[in-house]
């Protein structure tokens, strides 16, 4: 009888581990799919994700994979248009590059 109880407990533990693994894989896949969305949509999705998920899910490797892009060293920068911080006009990279050399610096000033 004791062996029967031990077998039941072991089977229950194995089932719990399997279900937990499936939940982890599904949650990781959901976060990965969210990372492919626009920044606004991604932010709206992540605002609803509990903080504990950041400790449990492989957020950084998923982020690096989802947002890696296809540019390599030496590739020309893709053309883009951005509004000026002060004013009502915008700046396009290709237009500025035709007039003078352009240096792109990506970073945070905070």
Q: Is 93 exposed, middle or buried (0-12, 13-18, 19+ CB in 10 A)?
A: middle
pLDDT at 60: 87
| pTM beyond cutoff 0.75 | no
Distance (Å, rounded) from C-alpha 83 to C-alpha 94? 14
Predicted pLDDT of residue 110: 64
Each residue's pLDDT tens digit in the chain (110 positions)? 777 788 888 899 999 999 999 999 999 999 999 988 888 898 899 899 888 888 888 888 888 888 887 888 888 888 999 898 888 899 899 888 888 888 877 777 66
Q: Which residues contact 96 (CB under 8 A, 6 or more apart)?
A: 102
Pair of tokens at residue 39: 């920044």
- Give the per-residue pLDDT at 16: 92
């Amino acid at each position: 009888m004791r062996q029967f109880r031990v077998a039941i407990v072991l089977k229950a533990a194995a089932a719990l581990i399997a279900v937990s693994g499936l939940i982890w894989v599904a949650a990781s896949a959901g976060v990965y799919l969210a990372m492919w969305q626009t920044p606004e949509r991604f932010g709206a999705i992540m605002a609803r994700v509990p903080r504990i998920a950041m400790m449990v899910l492989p957020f950084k490797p998923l982020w690096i994979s989802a947002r890696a892009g296809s540019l390599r060293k030496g590739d020309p920068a893709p053309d883009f248009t951005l509004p000026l911080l002060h004013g009502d006009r915008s700046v396009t990279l290709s237009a500025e590059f035709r007039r003078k050399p352009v240096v792109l610096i990506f970073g945070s000033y905070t």
